[in-house]
A and B are shown apart, each in its own frame.
Chain A
Amino acid sequence: MTLEDVCFAVCTALDAVGTTAVLTGGSAATYYAPSVYQSMDADFVIVFGNSELGVQALHRIGFAESGGIYRSDWSPYVLEFPVGPLMIGREHIADFATVRRGRETLHVLHPTDCVRDRLLWYFHYGDFSALGAAVGVAAGHEVDMEGIRDWSERERAIAKFELFNREIARAEGHGSKTAHLPLA
C-alpha cells in the first residue's frame, strides 16, 4: 500500500459524491517523486463540493476523524484537509492535474506548482528537505523552469533558485534523480 494508492482511493471516493479534492503539499511531491521524498500523510484541499457528503464518503472507505486528522485501519497514511482555497503563498491556484488510473481518479497539483509549493518552504524557512523534494519533482518531470525562475525573482529568492537549478543539474548529471540532497 503506497501513498499513491491511498490518494487515488480517497480522491475517487470523494469524486463519487461530487467533491473535488486536490492533493497538495509534501504528499504531492511524494506522488511525483516517491523514490526521493516520502510523506506520511496526504494533504487534500477541497476545491468544490459538500463537506458533509465528503465526510460520509471518507467514513464509507474506513477513515474516521480525530483532532482534524483522518485515520483508517487499512492505511498507514493519514489524511488532512487544510482549509482552502488552493494556494501557493498568496497566489490562488485554479488549475490542477487530473490523473486516471483504471477507474480511479486523482486530482493533484501540476508538477510546476508542486515544485513552487516545496520551494516556498526552502525560500522562506531554509527547509532543505523541501528543497530536496522540489529537486526530485523537477528532475523527473517537465516543469516550467522559466516560470519558476521569474516567480523566484518575485519571491526575492533568486540565489536560492540558482542553487535549486544547480541541484537539478547535479541530479541529472549523476544519472540519478536525487543529487546529494534527497539521498540523505
Chain B
Amino acid sequence: MEADRSLRLFGSELRTKILLYLAMLGETYAGELAALIGVSRVTVYRALGDLEREGYVASVLSGRERWVRLSPRNVAVESLSNLLTLLAENRPEIMATLSRLRRRPRRRGKKIDRPERT
C-alpha cells in the first residue's frame, strides 16, 4: 500500500510516473513517455501540459519533437530530482521498463540486441 501511495505523490499515478521517468532520463518526449508508461500520446501530452503550467516541467521544441525535462526554473528542482530518483530506483517495475529502453543509435540492417530473460 505504501508503494501505491508513493505513485500518487504528484496527484495521480500518471503524473507521478511521468516525473519519475523525467528524473531518470533527464530529457524525453511524449512518444517515449507514452511507450514507457503504456498510455496514449494524447494522454501524456495532456498531463505534460498540466505539469508545465504548474512549473514542474519545461519543454523545448527541437525539430518536430517537443522535448521535456524537469523545469530548471523550479526552485526545488534539485531536491525534486533527488526525491524522484530515489522513488524510481526503488520501484522495480520502473527500473525494469527503463532497462528495455535502448537509445543508442542502431545501424540499419542490424539485428536487435536483447537482454537475456532468465
| A interface list, Cβ under 8 A from B | 26, 34-41, 67-69, 78, 80, 121, 125-132, 163, 166, 178-184
Does B113 belong to the interface (CB within 8 Å)? yes
Name the residue among B92, B101, B113 with the largest chain A CB count within 10 angstroms. B113
Q: Quote the shortest CB–CB distance from B44 to chain A (angstroms).
A: 17
Q: Which residues from B are CB-within-8-Å of A180?
A: 92, 95-96, 99
Interface segment among B3-11, B46-54, B104-112: the answer is B104-112
**CB <8 Å contact, A127 and B99:** no
Question: Is the contact region of chain B dominated by helix, strand, or loop, or is it mixed?
Answer: loop
Question: Is the contact region of chain A dominated by helix, strand, or loop, or is it mixed?
Answer: mixed
Known: A34-B116, A126-B103, A129-B115. A163 touches B110 (CB 8 A): no
Does B114 belong to the interface (CB within 8 Å)? yes
**CB <8 Å contact, A78 and B111:** yes
**CB <8 Å contact, A38 and B116:** yes
**CB <8 Å contact, A126 and B102:** no
**CB <8 Å contact, B102 and A127:** yes
Category for how many chain B residues contact A: 20 to 34
Q: Which residues from A are CB-within-8-Å of B28?
A: 126
Q: Quote the shortest CB–CB distance from A174 to chain B (angstroms).
A: 10
Other contacts beyond A129-B99, A163-B89: 7, CB < 8 A: A38-B113, A38-B115, A41-B110, A80-B107, A126-B28, A129-B102, A166-B89
- 7 tightest CB-CB pairs across the interface, nearest first? A184-B99, A40-B111, A180-B95, A128-B98, A127-B103, A125-B103, A121-B104
